Chain A
Amino acid sequence: DTEVTQTPKHLVMGMTNKKSLKCEQHMGHRAMYWYKQKAKKPPELMFVYSYEKLSINESVPSRFSPECPNSSLLNLHLHALQPEDSALYLCASSLLGDTQYFGPGTRLTVL
C-alpha cells in the first residue's frame, strides 16, 4: 500500500486567515516532503523532514510553517498568504531518500 492522504482537498482562504494543511502516511516512511505546484510546471520542493526533523527548507517564506508531530503526520501551517501562493500543495513520503510517493494534494486558492 503506497497511500499518502491529504486534507482538505480544496481550500479557499483570505490573506488574513490562518489555516493548516494535513498529510498522513502509514507506510513506515521516515522522510516526508511538502511541494508546491503551479499549473503546467513541475513540483517545487518546499520542505523535507527526515526522522521527524526538518532537514531541508528551500528558502520558503515564513508565512509557510511546517510541522511534523510524529513519524506519520506532516502539517503545513499557512498565515498571511498572498494570491500568488495559490497552487496545488503536494505531500510526499519515502522510506528514506529513495522513491517518493505523493498524496492527492490540496488545491489552495488565496483571495
Chain B
Amino acid sequence: RKEVEQDPGPFNVPEGATVAFNCTYSNSASQSFFWYRQDCRKEPKLLMSVYSSGNEDGRFTAQLNRASQYISLLIRDSKLSDSATYLCVVHRGDSNYQLIWGAGTKLIIKP
C-alpha cells in the first residue's frame, strides 16, 4: 500500500463544475497535511495547508479526517486556470523535514 494515495486521474471537467479530490495516508503519526498544485514544467506551489477543523480559501475547501486518515480538496466554480496537477502531501510522523507525496491528480478544465 502506498503511504499517500490519490485518485489516479486525469479529471476532465467543464468550466464552472465542482471538483473533489480525495487522498488517504497510512501513517497515523503524521501531523501536517498540505495540498500543492503544480503546473506543467513548473514548481509545486502550496495551495493550502489542511487543518483538522477544515479550512476554506475562496473557491477551495480542504478537509481532514484523522480517524479515517483521509484528506479532501473541493474546488467550486472551476476556472480554466485551475487546470494543473494537484498533489496531496503529508509530513512523515517521525521527521519534521520529510514529506510524503501522493502521485498527483491531473485536472483538466474544459471550456
Contact = CB atoms under 8 A, between A and B. Distances in A.
B8 to A, nearest CB: 12
Nearest to A50: B97
| Chief secondary structure at chain B's binding surface | loop
Interface in A4-30: none
B46 A101 contact: yes
A103 B43 contact: yes
A88 B38 CA distance: 13
B66 to A, nearest CB: 18
Nearest to A56: B97
A50 B98 CA distance: 12
A7 B44 CA distance: 17
Interface of B: 32, 34, 41-46, 49, 87, 91, 95-99, 101-104
